[in-house]
Amino acid sequence: MAMSKIGIIVTLGILIGLSSCRHTSEDETESKLQWGHLAEDSLAPESPQFLINKKPSETYRVCLADYLKAELPGIEGEISAAINIWAHYIGRKIPVIIEARPLSRSTVTDTVESLSDSYFKACGSGFDVVVGFGPLDGGTVGVTGASYSFRALPNGKRDIVSFKRFLFLRDFAVRPFGDGSENKGWVSLQARSGKVRTAQEILDLMTSRSMLQFSSDRRSLSLSVLTHEFGHVWGLCDQYEGAANCDSKNSTSHLVLDSVMGGESSRQTVYLTDDDIQGIRALNAREGFSHNWPQSPSSAQNPVPLTISEVEHFEINNVTRDSKNLVITYSVFTNVPAKIRISLMPQQGGREIPLTGLLESGDVPFKQGWSRLSVALTDQDKTKYKVKAVLQKAKDSTTLKSLQSADFL
Ligand SMILES: [Zn+2]
């Protein structure tokens, strides 16, 4: 076989958006503490629908759809930690009370509004939020929102007399992604790690800022999306392309895709980034939002430095073959500019066949989850191959990591 017949035909990044957005990694910017707060008019120091306004003696009451406990084991600890990881960095602790109720899964005719109405009715009064799976569309995997009634005050402010907040994770059984991305839905931290943790242990894990997850199993980690959505409940806005909920007075227009509020679910941070922490601290420091909590967090609440490794993740997720092509799905996340050399190893031995194209990240690091590349084979080629992939530093071609696919195809 002539080597020139083998070349890389297509590469396509597949990313899954958090909240109401799907984004690409093309506008990746370095984190420069470009946090942002919600532009919502109702984010004021007396708006009870935001977590930032909980007073030191108050609890946070969650009405949880009980099917979530079965689908996402450990979900209650995750909810408590997703709330309190934000509290941690401003020296607060929110007591979370979770009551599970036999709520029904959404149907194909449900909307987010109809579902939240029926959940509120079933939960009864006194809850700060209802949490369940919801009928989300497009690339959205999580959403939170609140409806409220208010009394207009003479000074132009709003006295919020009641509110209903919902927080939904996408119900993939009712609304699968229609783009062939083969998302398999959700996985809880407990299910993925095989380890049962209390809420405090999850919080400790998050504050250690040591766990980074990649969706090798094609499932989104519920904890990461809950942390993002509860970030909104605190009062923070989205930091990804296309989002329009940031207050121009309290954020820059720059994206911080690596942050929790930037959210990119094939790379799942089980911690808050510096940018997220800067954002919640800035909100706490805004006039009127400190609510008798300690003025500034103690040194114990300062973030542990992040360890930056050159390679965060490099994996051949999958290799398939049809009559003409070998389709390789791979994920690569680096913190240095890099390149990938791919070659085919024939089953009967002999020389490795390097592919003619080279995947390069350019001047920036690789941030690609579940990218596919297609290698065209000739009709006559009945050889079975393994795929070998070598990740190298762009600067000096030092090998960072070398991989081989499992089987000959
Ligand atoms: Zn969001």
- 212-261 per-position pLDDT tens digit: 898 878 889 999 999 999 999 999 999 887 788 988 888 775 677 789 99
Q: What is the pLDDT of residue 5?
A: 35
How far does the centroid of ligand 1 lie from the alpha carbon of residue 18, in Å? Answer: 6
All structural domains of the chain, each given as residue ranges with its CATH number in brackets, are: 3-14+309-404 (2.60.40), 36-301 (3.40.390.10)
7 Cα: distance to centroid of ligand 1 (angstroms): 39
Whole-number Å distance, alpha carbon 170 to ligand 1 midpoint, is 13
- Between the CA of 194 and the centroid of ligand 1 the distance, in Å, is 28
More confident residue, 56 or 252: 56
Q: How far is the CA of 240 from the centre of ligand 1 (A)?
A: 8
- The Cα angle at residue 18 between residues 13 and 19, in degrees rounded to 5: 140
**Residue 27, pLDDT above cutoff 70:** no
pLDDT for 103 beyond 70: yes
Give pLDDT, residue 356.
72
Enter the tokens of residue 102: 């036999």
Distance 326 CA to ligand 1 centre (A): 36
The band of 307, judged by pLDDT with boundaries at 50, 70 and 90, is confident
Can you tell me the distance from the alpha carbon of 178 to that of 43, in angstroms, rounded to the nearest whole number? 35
Residue 12 has pLDDT above 70, yes or no: no
What are the residues whose beta carbons fall under 8 Å from the beta carbon of 104, sequence distance 6 or more? 118
Could you identify the residue written with the tokens 């959205």?
140
Q: Helices 75-88 and 199-207: crossing angle, nearest 10°? A: 40
Mean pLDDT computed over 15-28: 30
Q: How far is the CA of 233 from the centre of ligand 1 (A)?
A: 10
Distance from residue 105's CA to the centre of ligand 1 (Å): 22
> Ligand 1 is a single-atom ion; what residues have CB below 5 A from it?
19, 238
Whole-angstrom distance, CA of residue 64 vs CA of residue 60: 12
Query: Which residues, at least 6 apart from 180, have a Cβ–Cβ distance to it below 8 Å?
Result: none
Tokens of 13: 């990044």
Pull the structure tokens for residue 31.
């984190």
